[in-house]
Amino acid sequence: MSDEGYINSSTLYKDNEEWKDITPIYPSKEEQSAVKIAASQDFIDVFAYFRAILIIKEKSERVLKLLEDCVRLNPANYTVWQYRREVLKELNSDLNAEMKYLDGIIEETPKNYQVWHHRRVIVEWLGENSAPYELDFTCDIIQDENKNYHAWQHRQWVIRTFKDNLNLLDSEMSFSLRLLLEDPRNNSAYNYRYFLLTIFDKTEDKETIDIEINLAKRFIEGMPNNESAWNYLTGLLLSNGILSDTGVVKFVEDLYERTEETKRSSFLLAFIADIMLEKIDQQIEAVESAERAKQLYTDLISLDPVRHNYWKHQKLLVDQMLNKTTYTTKMV
């Protein structure tokens, strides 16, 4: 494994002259009887030496190589990664080289929580200059699998950590838009875009929100059954309510009217029903709004039978809201 002669991973450590000074600690009979694990000879050998160096707290270049073998055999072992960080810090190791090493590990095991956590710590040590590299790296991982939760979380962490020192909003919005143009159903890209609006305090910026609303509307027009776009539109209106944007109300009503009854999206019907609930809550044509909401939920029970219990619940909610509104009005 090493050109420097410390270890050859094809050779057992117990047979390696460089490690003759270490007494390996093998699993005891009690351990083996308590939890039987089918482990290879290689695995037993490597972790016996890892146990030993943990006891004596050795931190050296050969230990780093040993830890690489541990990672090769069990890349999700927390203790291995934690000790590797201790050794790296003790030796004042080249952290850029460590990042290159991590590139390969993540490419092999892209959903390994421990390696992503280790990477985050190394990036913290390197500082803001490492941010552009991290954005490029996570971009590559996401291109391979756009639902990789760890890559998205890492990218968000990079933005959150370095946003005050680097101008990242415009480039990241462009990045998420590119992904949405490639796949308008990419829910992760929508979530990331909303994260950007939140972290850069743009959720109350009317100009920005208007642009995003128009973007969501364009995606919905192209794919009325695109749940991700509907969720994004709903999120953009969360603070002030759907009724606060007359353009959105007109947009969905127009979409409803020009779509054949048998081809109407369940998300369209549910969105209009939400508008009716807002009207009831604000005592705007409450009785008429309640009747329409119940009809929409009735249609949804047929259109979306998987969630029929939820739609039935919503119909009951309409009556509860209407009764509450009527009672409040009488009290006033």
The gap from C-alpha 185 to its chain's centroid, in whole angstroms, comes to 15
**DSSP result, 205-267:** -HHHHHHHHHHHHHHHHH-TT-HHHHHHHHHHTTTT-GGG-HHHHHHHHHHHHHS-GGG--HH
| Eight-class DSSP state of 35 | S
Q: Which two tokens stand for residue 315?
A: 């119909």
Q: What is the pLDDT along the chain (332 residues), one digit of tens a residue?
A: 444 433 444 589 999 999 999 999 998 777 666 566 667 899 999 999 999 999 999 999 999 999 999 999 999 999 999 999 999 999 999 999 999 999 999 999 999 999 999 999 999 999 999 999 999 999 999 999 999 999 999 999 999 999 998 999 999 999 999 999 999 999 999 999 999 999 999 999 999 999 999 999 999 999 999 999 999 999 999 999 999 999 999 999 999 999 999 899 999 999 999 999 999 999 999 999 999 999 999 999 999 999 999 999 999 999 999 988 765 555 44
Q: Which residues are catalytic?
A: 111
Sequence-separated (6 or more) residues with CB below 8 Å from residue 8 = 1, 2, 16
pTM of the model: 0.88
